[in-house]
């Protein structure tokens, strides 16, 4: 990162010390956003936008295991902030690169600790650091964020009532005021409407430390951290380990250490939220010298559709013939991968080194190689970790392209260390990773770009056993504004059975999405997902060749991303650009909606073919009804689109060739 010193006259524009109260004020590059750091009576942070308070004076600090509180600010006679400016290359992110600019201030605390603050135009961040040599055991971290009277918040609560730290980080967002919110742990991100702007709490650079939860306490959100595991136990099913007993501290580290970044992303417009890049910008840069081998793409997936083929002359299931059929389908539609999900090895025994008798893995790898289709294998996290080097080396040598690793279901310090071990070993063996059953990303995908996807989202799998009250169409246009700020999502779209609010039913073997077929298509553009699924059966797609060809041809990574229109919980319209081609995806909740799109972003004096996949005229009654039209447009054109209840659309724009 470039650290560019500025003359003192310019420094005064973004930095001041109010000596009477020992307050330090650090401003954003544009001067509008301010972090006000106080040391009286203890360390605290206040955030203002145009001098209006977004977060009031909030105590922050660390408590060591011996009771020492880290938060005594040592204000020197002269403090010189630093201006940071960096062009960040971001492969497989929502754009290929972006400019990051901030003003930074490093301050000393007691006991060889310190704290760093950064203020960007789009948010504020801070992190603690330690520069001594001894081991520190962190009893707790102090973070009581004061947002004021009865602010509206979007909180995703833990779904585990026995051990709230042990769950899959999958829930809908509960819209509530902080004073009436449940006194229950919520996982990040969490968003608060502060009037002038929305503030979203995130974290980045989560190394050797637990992840953050928050809990409403009056008008505050108080940080809570999973304690350090003391003893582990093992489930009989899937051979999964879990935390049986915890220590009374949250973390321990020896020697110098950087703690995670605490991020407050500030968004005046909802449309700015999905493209906020602070988590990625604050993450540790890539440790990989070569990323040419990492290939994003689409996946023909087996589990969501329950291997439920029809019209074939073999018994469909977890067997070689079925997977050859998936490979043939993937090859025909130029999909890069298939996944062998749970069942290809005996998961209850944890016998990952030996496929079941019905799966000839060597034959499938060679068959896929001939067809240009890679194979990704499902695995349980701890099963991988317990024999990590051997597993990665063995399957990489066989020709496997990566692993979908599942059921971590925790984010304490030892879990995060296991994740990093896995990312490193997979990278050394040129294996990509899809993290499922996983907490919200915290920047590790920048450090290890072979991590192509994360779950941590209430994705499509939930309709297999869910209820209508979960209101997936509303969630589908809520989480891009909140969860997607943290990074990509393993949402697993592509349902070919689609239900309206009136006729949707849960089904495990023949699952049905809530909302229209065009709504499903829009997910491929709206959601950041460089490794994404065609989740339904190949035979269902083959019955709709025009639709299947359309979604199969959509890219999974893009050069640029912009949200053109949208309101959290109501609708979203996203514009992407890839190799001078343009893609627009739009989605609504259960409300019908008319959208007008101005195409003035197109290059001047060039004609484009607009291919439009949108809701059919009968989509409110039959959610599978869609239409596919083509028009010639230019930068002076507008598109007028009607979205059915739970509807959507995709527009592709390609220059007319003469």
* Torsion angle, alpha carbons of 491, 497, 500, 506, to 10: -70
E-assigned strands of 472-540? 498-499, 513-514, 531-534
Are the C-beta atoms of 203 and 280 separated by less than 8 Å? no
Catalytic residue among 336, 406, 434, 528: 406
Nearest Cα to Cα of residue 119 among 74, 55, 163:
55
Residue among 67, 65, 47, 64 nearest 56 (CA): 47
Q: Is 420 exposed, middle or buried (0-12, 13-18, 19+ CB in 10 A)?
A: middle
Neighbours of 503 (CB within 10 A): 11
Distances (CA, A) of 564 to 42, 275, 583, 604: 43, 11, 12, 19
Distances (CA, A) of 518 to 141, 338, 522, 545, 548: 46, 24, 6, 15, 12
CB-CB contact of 392 with 431 (8 Å): yes
Report how far residue 503's alpha carbon sits from residue 498's, in angstroms, rounded to the nearest whole number: 9
| Torsional sign, CA 355, 449, 28, 58 | positive
Residues 6+ apart with CB under 8 A from 361: 340, 344, 355, 375, 398
> Strand 513-514 to strand 531-534: parallel, antiparallel, or no bridges (unpaired)?
unpaired
Phi, psi of 303 (to 5 degrees): -65, -45
Catalytic annotation, pick one of 461, 471, 476, 490: 461
Q: Is 461 a catalytic residue?
A: yes
- At residue 258's C-alpha, the angle toward residues 253 and 260, to 5°, is 100
In whole angstroms, how large is the CA radius of gyration of the chain?
A: 25
Element (H, E) at 423: helix 413-428
Tokens of 139: 């009893």
Are the CB atoms for 207 and 416 separated by under 8 Å? Answer: yes
Structure tokens at 96: 């290929």
Task: For residue 86, indicate whether it is catalytic.
Answer: no
Residue 545: φ, ψ to 5°: -65, -35
Contacts of 531 (CB under 8 A, 6+ apart): 296, 297, 299, 337, 432, 434, 452, 453, 488, 490, 556
> Mapped to the 3 state alphabet, what secondary structure does 144-204 carry?
EEECCCCCEEEEEECCCCCCCCCCCCCCCCEEEEHHHCCCCCEEEEEEEECCCCEEEEEEE
Q: CA quadruple 16, 22, 23, 27: dihedral positive or negative?
A: positive
| Residues involved in catalysis | 406, 461
């Amino acid at each position: 990162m470039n650290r560019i010193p500025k003359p003192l006259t310019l420094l005064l524009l973004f930095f001041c010390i109010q000596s009477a109260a020992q307050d330090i004020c650090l401003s954003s590059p544009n001067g509008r956003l301010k972090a006000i750091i106080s040391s009286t009576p203890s360390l605290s942070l206040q955030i203002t936008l145009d001098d209006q308070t977004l977060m009031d004076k909030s105590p922050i600090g660390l408590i060591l295991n011996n009771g020492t509180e880290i938060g005594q600010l040592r204000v020197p006679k002269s403090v010189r902030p630093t201006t940071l400016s960096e062009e960040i290359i971001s492969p497989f992110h929502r754009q290929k690169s972006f400019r990051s600019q901030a003003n930074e201030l490093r301050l000393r605390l007691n006991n060889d600790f310190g704290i760093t603050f950064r203020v960007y135009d789009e948010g504020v961040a801070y992190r603690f650091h330690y520069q001594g040599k001894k081991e520190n055991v962190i009893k707790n971290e102090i973070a009581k964020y004061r947002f004021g009277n009865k602010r509206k918040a979007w909180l995703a609560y833990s779904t585990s009532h026995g051990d709230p730290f042990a769950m899959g980080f999958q829930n809908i967002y509960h819209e509530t005021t902080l004073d009436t919110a449940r006194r229950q742990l919520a996982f990040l991100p969490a968003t608060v409407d502060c009037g002038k702007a929305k503030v979203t709490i995130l974290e980045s650079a989560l190394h050797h430390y637990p992840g953050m939860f928050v809990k409403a306490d009056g008008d505050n959100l108080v940080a809570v951290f999973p304690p350090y595991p003391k003893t582990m136990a093992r489930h009989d099913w899937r051979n999964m380990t879990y935390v049986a007993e915890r220590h009374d501290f949250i973390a321990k580290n020896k020697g110098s250490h950087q703690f995670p970044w605490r991020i407050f992303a500030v968004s005046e417009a909802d449309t700015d939220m999905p493209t906020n890049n602070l988590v990625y910008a604050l993450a540790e840069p890539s440790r990989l010298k070569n990323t040419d081998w990492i290939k994003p793409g689409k996946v023909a997936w087996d589990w969501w559709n329950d291997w439920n083929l029809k019209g074939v002359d073999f018994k469909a299931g977890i067997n070689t013939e079925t997977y050859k059929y998936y490979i043939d389908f993937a090859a025909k539609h130029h999909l890069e991968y298939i996944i062998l999900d749970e069942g290809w090895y005996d998961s209850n025994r944890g016998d990952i080194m030996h496929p079941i008798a019905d799966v000839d893995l060597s034959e499938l790898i060679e068959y896929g190689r001939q067809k240009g289709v890679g194979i990704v294998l499902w695995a349980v996290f701890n099963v991988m970790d317990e024999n990590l080097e051997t597993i990665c080396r063995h399957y990489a040598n066989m020709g496997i392209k990566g692993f979908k690793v599942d059921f971590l279901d925790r984010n304490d310090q030892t879990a995060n260390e296991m994740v990093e071990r896995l990312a490193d070993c997979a990278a050394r063996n040129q294996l990509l990773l899809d993290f499922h059953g996983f907490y919200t990303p915290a920047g590790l995908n920048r450090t290890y770009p072979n991590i192509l996807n994360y779950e941590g989202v209430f994705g499509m799998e939930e309709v297999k056993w869910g209820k209508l009250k979960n209101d997936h169409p509303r969630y589908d246009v809520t989480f891009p504004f909140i969860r997607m700020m943290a990074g990509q999502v393993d949402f697993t779209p592509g349902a070919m059975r689609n239900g309206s609010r009136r006729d949707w039913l849960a089904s495990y073997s023949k699952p049905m999405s809530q909302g229209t077929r065009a709504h499903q298509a829009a997910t491929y553009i709206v959601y950041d997902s460089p490794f994404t699924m065609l989740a339904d059966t190949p035979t269902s797609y083959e019955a709709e060749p025009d639709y299947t060809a359309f979604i199969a041809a959509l890219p999974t990574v893009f050069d640029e991303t912009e949200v053109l229109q949208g309101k959290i919980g109501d609708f979203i319209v996203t514009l992407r650009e890839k190799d001078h081609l343009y893609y627009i995806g739009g989605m609504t909740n259960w409300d019908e909606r008319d959208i007008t799109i101005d195409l003035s972003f197109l290059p001047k004096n060039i004609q484009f073919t607009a291919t439009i996949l949108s809701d059919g005229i009968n989509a409110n009654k039959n959610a599978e009804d869609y239409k596919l039209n083509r028009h010639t447009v230019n930068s002076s054109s507008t598109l007028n689109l009607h979205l059915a209840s739970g509807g959507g659309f995709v527009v592709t724009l390609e220059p007319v060739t003469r």
